[in-house]
A and B are shown apart, each in its own frame.
Chain A
Amino acid sequence: MQEIKGTNDRILEIDLSAKKFRVTKIGKKDRNMYLGGKGLALKLLYDRMEPGVDPLGEKNMIAFMMGVLMGTGAPCSGRFEAATKSPLTGIMSTASCGGPFGMALKTSGWDGIIISGKAKVPVYLYIDSKGVQLKPAKAIWGKDTGAAEAVLSKEGVGALVIGPAGENLVRFANIRSGHRFLGRGGMGAVLGSKNIKGIVAKGGEVKIVPAKKKKFDRSNKRFFKYINQNSITSGSYRYYGTNANTNLSNAAGILPVRNFTGGSHGEAHKISGETMAERFKTTWDTCKPCIIMCGHKGMIEGKERHIPEYETVGLLGHNLEIFDPVVISEWNDICAGMGMDTISSGGTLAWAMEATEKGLVKTNLKFGSTDGISEMLRNIAYRKGIGKDLALGSKAASKKYGGEDFAMHVKGMELPAYDPRGCFGHGLSYATANRGACHLSTSLFVLEAYLGMADPYAMRWKHYMVKFMENAYAAMNSLHICQFTAFAVFLEPPLIKLTPNFIIKILNQNLAPLALNLMDVSLWPELWHATVGKTYIPFVSMLKFRKAGERVHVLERYMNTREGISKKDDTLPLRLLTEGRKCDSKERSVPLEKMLKKYYRLRGYDSNGIPKKRTLKRLGIEIK
């Protein structure tokens, strides 16, 4: 079997309209500047796509890009990224997934694929080391994701599939690979618009090894150690999944309740990760390779089911005032089968419930009631009745029916399950995240609300924290490694580990640049250099890694500003800016404006939020 050191640097470009494909080599410069995964996907689309294209038109492209570390055996590295122009938001969107497709594609000898055009009839793509074949998908068109994937998986090691929601162009349709999803931004609708039901990669054709094995093994060992000693990665997430966040969010007052009108609830424990683990006797069901093992399955009402993630529990549970883990699991399965993002589905349902309550729409949905939700989820997927409008997301629905003041989205993307009125820095992060309301742009709520390492209500230095984390996460998503490893890499090195939390909090409060820059993130650049065979220079390589993250973030921002994004879009739903909550004695709202100004200055954007020419030049981004 052919052996590849790190990356193969081959991209498969498929033009569906012309039924042609070509092989492109990734240049060394692009690889160094944008790593892989998210960064490279965005760069390749930036070079190929004009601004202003219809997200559901032939000219839109979708890229699937593998991580640099994928296949090397580094823990939690089985992830890949997709990037496209989102039909939900009308701007660039990226999503990450740990399903088997990534490993299959990389071990077929490809570092990524870019799809453009539109097939005349429904097809699926079969990819092996020689190239791609378009095969008729008539037999699986209309099937749910589970059934379609079962068929395609017979032809290769890993597949991507869309469900009925993607076929019907639901704006928040997702793409499935195994039990994992390219969840946000409506990537499933983009594939649906191109008449692609799925993509299957043969896999197992090449072997991937790190270029500098000894150095790689040494860093890898440290990585394993950190992950296995961190209380989140080897404790709460490993045993209770991401839904361990429910009790933490409830205690911190950032748990969205009743469409973000409340921040905690007495019944939240009923749907917490701890309760589900005990009640459903959960076991692991994770991405590969992974040692955190946050994905779980369990026996629910006699049926083996995937345990819902925290975001699903949040948006289909407490935010709708539903506290029954069995029905939430059922809805999770419906969304998975139909191929719909649970965050946007839940956020849109919450809007519909409140709009019904206020007489703006007529549905049978009601907060606290499970009636009609399963049916409505299917109606959204098949675009029936009012489901046709809800399938466009809460922003579009509220433009049509009213209720924009309680449509909980940023840039058209529905809010995840963390209320920023209890963590101001995370509020800034929601407003500035490139793809819309995204909890993975910084995950600052962890430092602010869970670990007590930053004052959640302070504004000072929050702009710096957001920028630092955005850059770090963009680099991680380009490397590409699971973001949960950040808990271990940030918090386990001795300097941080031995410092009491209250001192870190004081430092973050008053000297954030110093405190954050003391965080030792050298592990990631070490692994990167060892994988691709570059010489690791302490500190310098780390700075290069962080600069790559900054470059990726700013490039995405720049691409979005070419689509019309500016300061007017970097905002939060009116409710978060004007209304307080009863769980907060001071009834605080997010003081966004002050933080935003400082953030723009720090980022090198102008006062309207547009990256300045000198910022782009400094980062080596070509100005178009």
Chain B
Amino acid sequence: MLIPDYYQFLIHPKIISGKCSLENIPSELNGYDAQKPLVITGKNIMERGLVKKFIKAFYDSTVTLGGIFDEVRDYAGISLARDAAFLYKERGCDSIIALGNGTVVDLAKAVNVLVSEKIDNLSAYHEGASISRQLKPLIIVPACRSNGMEATNVMTIDNRRITADFLYPDVIVIDPRMTPGCCPECVAESGVIALTHAFAALTDEAHNPMTAAVAHPALSYLSEYLPKGVTRPKNKDASIALANASVLAASAYSNTRPGMADLLAEELSIITGISVGKYMRILLPSLIADMQKKKIKISDELFLSLVGMEAYAATPVQERPQKGLDAAMKLINSLKGLLPKSLEQLKIQKYKLAEVARVAAERSAERFTDADCRTVLEQAWEGSAV
């Protein structure tokens, strides 16, 4: 195994996964000398009765919930973050628990910055200032659909991404009670996002032993449980495995550079308001097909993670990278009719692709050219790789 000349990897969130994990939250808070968390959650989580189950876990603890802010919907913006920060201050809270995924977590991170830094907007960070000190304790309890960013050092607020090491949550608690079966589409989307993140981490030229170590179990879980999860969304093992896969993939993703599928999906999502997962399901096969066509060299760890040791050992060394791509393609295509297959099917207007490619290429810091992005997008528009 080659030793890289240089690499860095930050492992931050403590992960607590398994039965009765929620009951660990009070002691985790005590460890941070916190007693009164503000719970931030979404309307849909509240409607599904998960908040009630969550509160029950605190019955025998010394922790007092400072308040429950359940106004989060599909958009995380500064207006809502200010409202939640106001509640945090008014109730004298000292920590934050985000119950949910996606925008709930983004909002919780934004609130954490507002209350820790004692500011009322994020303009300085939008302009490139860095968050330079420890924030208040933040615990994340994933529930249902993930956008893959929960365990990362990234928050997207008002469509703008802010990255800082202090944005990592402190603890992630994965409890089967909080990850009941979502709809098959939600499971598929969350799985595809985790797959895209892990794929980016493993295929990036700058990947290192640690990203591979974290991405490997994520891909293994996905390979085994994603097909099961979409056919049987209420299967508890699959729910827990996929929630873990999301967290692990995100951890690897935080320590690597976003891949082309990530960048293109994000840009398309901002323009159209359609979730990134749907785009990743279309873009990843197109990217893989492009990589196969161009015979891009990738590490054979992708193959190992997706098919396991036996098949890996039985395959000649030179065939492993290509077979890894085949296996990834097979896994994503196992989602069958759950998600759209082409950008055309999503009725994305073709003339918009040029701008999407331009922005994604710009954001990739010269790793991908405009033309590379166009090629993948055009293939995705037709859905020919799916």
Q: Are B77 and A359 in contact (CB under 8 A)?
A: no
Asked if B75 and A405 make an inter-chain contact with CB atoms under 8 angstroms apart, the answer reads yes
By the criterion CB–CB under 8 Å, are B349 and A405 in contact? no
Shortest CB distance B259–A (Å): 22
A563-B349 contact, Cβ under 8 Å, with A360-B158, A404-B159, A578-B73 = yes
Q: Is the interface of A mostly helix, strand, loop or mixed?
A: loop
Q: Is B157 in the interface zone, CB < 8 Å from A? A: yes
Q: How far is the CA of A467 from the CA of B59 in the complex (A)?
A: 52
Interchain CA distance A263-B76 in the complex, whole Å: 25
Asked if B270 and A399 sit within 8 Å, CB to CB, the answer is yes
Contact flag A402-B351 (CB < 8 Å), given A568-B273, A574-B75: no
The residue of chain A having its C-beta at the shortest distance from the C-beta of B74 within the complex is A574
Complex contact A358–B78 (CB within 8 A): yes
The residue that B73 contacts in the complex, of A57, A90, A406, A574, with Cβ under 8 A, is A574
CA of A568 to CA of B275, assembled, Å:
12
Q: Does A403 contact B (CB under 8 A)?
A: yes
Contact in complex: A406, B159 (CB < 8 Å) = no
A578–B71 CB distance below 8 A: yes
Residues of A within 8 A of B158 (CB): 360, 398, 401-404
Q: Bound state CA distance, A562 and B347, in angstroms?
A: 8
Question: Is A222 at the interface (CB under 8 A from chain B)?
Answer: no
Docked complex Cα distance between A476 and B347 (Å):
32
* A359 close to B271 (CB less than 8 A): no
Q: Are B349 and A402 in contact (CB under 8 A)?
A: no
A54 within 8 Å of B by Cβ? Answer: yes
On whether A399 and B126 interact (CB within 8 A), knowing A359-B78, A404-B159, A578-B73, the answer reads: no
A564 within 8 A of B: yes
Expressed in whole angstroms, the minimum distance between the Cβ of B348 and any Cβ of chain A is 7
> Chain A 574-585, CB within 8 Å of chain B: the 1/0 string?
100010000000
Q: Which residue of B lies closest to A85 (CB)?
A: B349
Residues 328-379 of B contacting A (Cβ, < 8 Å): 346-351
Q: Provide the bound-state CA to CA distance between A85 and B347, in Å.
A: 15
For residue B346, which residues in chain A have a CB less than 8 angstroms away from its CB?
564
Q: Does B8 belong to the interface (CB within 8 Å)?
A: no
Partner of B351, one of A54, A404, A564: A54
Q: B141-175 toward A: CB 8 Å interface, digit per residue (1/0)?
A: 00000000000000001111000000000000000
Query: In this complex, which of B120, B121, B347 has the most chain A Cβ atoms within 10 angstroms of its Cβ?
Result: B347
| Residue ID in chain A nearest B125 by CB atoms | A359
Interface string of A374-408 (1 = CB under 8 A from B): 00000000000000000000000011111111100
A52 at the A/B interface (Cβ < 8 Å)?
yes
Q: Determine the chain B residues whose CB is within 8 A of the CB of A57 once the complex forms.
A: 351
Whether A52 lies near B349 (C-beta < 8 A) is yes
What residues of chain B lie closer than 8 Å to A574, measured between beta carbons?
Answer: 73, 75
A568 to B123, CA, bound (A): 30
Answer whether residue A53 sits at the interface, using C-beta atoms and an 8 A cutoff: yes
Q: A360-B126, A564-B348, A578-B71 are in contact. Are A399 and B79 (CB under 8 A)?
A: no
Q: Are B123 and A359 in contact (CB under 8 A)?
A: yes
A359-B123, A360-B123, A564-B346 known; A402+B71 contact, CB < 8 A: no
B 116-147 contacts with A by CB, 8 A: 120-123, 126
Q: Shortest beta-carbon distance, A406 to chain B, in Å?
A: 6
Tell me which residues across on chain A come within 8 A of B159, comparing CB atoms: 398-402, 404
Bound-state Cα–Cα, A404 to B76, Å: 9
Contact of A359 among B122, B272, B274, B347 (CB under 8 A): B122
Do the beta carbons of A563 and B347 come within 8 Å of each other? yes
B80 within 8 A of A: yes
Give chain B nearest CB distance to A584 CB in angstroms. 19
Residue in B79, B274, B348 whose beta carbon sits within 8 Å of that of A405 in the complex: B79
Task: Enumerate A518-576 residues with CB–CB distance to B below 8 Å.
Answer: 562-564, 568, 574
Would you give the shortest CB distance from A268 to chain B, in whole angstroms?
25
Residues of chain A within 8 A (CB-CB) of B157 are 402
Report the minimum CB–CB distance from B144 to chain A (whole Å): 19
- In whole angstroms, what is the CA distance A402 to B158 when docked? 4
Most buried by A among B82, B158, B351: B158
Contacting residues, chain A, for B82 (C-beta < 8 A): 358
Whether the pair A358, B79 counts as a contact (CB closer than 8 A) is yes
Report the nearest B residue to A406, measured CB to CB: B79
B349 touches A360 (CB 8 A): no
How far does the alpha carbon of A53 sit from the alpha carbon of B350 in the complex, in Å?
A: 8
User: Quick one: which of B221-275 are within 8 Å of A by CB?
Assistant: 270-274
Interface string of A400-428 (1 = CB under 8 A from B): 11111110000000000000000000000
- Smallest Cβ distance from B278 to chain A, in angstroms? 12
Q: Are B79 and A90 in contact (CB under 8 A)?
A: no
B75 adjacent to A404 (CB under 8 Å): yes
A368 to chain B: closest CB distance in Å?
A: 19
Residues on B with beta carbons closer than 8 Å to the beta carbon of A53: 351
**What 4 A-B pairs are tightest by C-beta distance, nearest first?**
A402-B158, A359-B121, A564-B347, A359-B123
**Beyond A358-B82, A362-B123, A564-B272, 11 extra complex contacts between A and B, CB < 8 Å:** A52-B350, A358-B79, A360-B123, A360-B158, A399-B159, A401-B158, A402-B77, A402-B158, A406-B79, A564-B348, A574-B73
**A binding-site residues for B, Cβ under 8 Å:** 52-54, 57, 90, 358-360, 362, 398-406, 562-564, 568, 574, 578
The 11 listed contacts between A and B (C-beta, < 8 Å) are: A52-B351, A90-B349, A359-B123, A360-B121, A399-B270, A400-B159, A402-B160, A405-B79, A563-B347, A563-B349, A568-B273
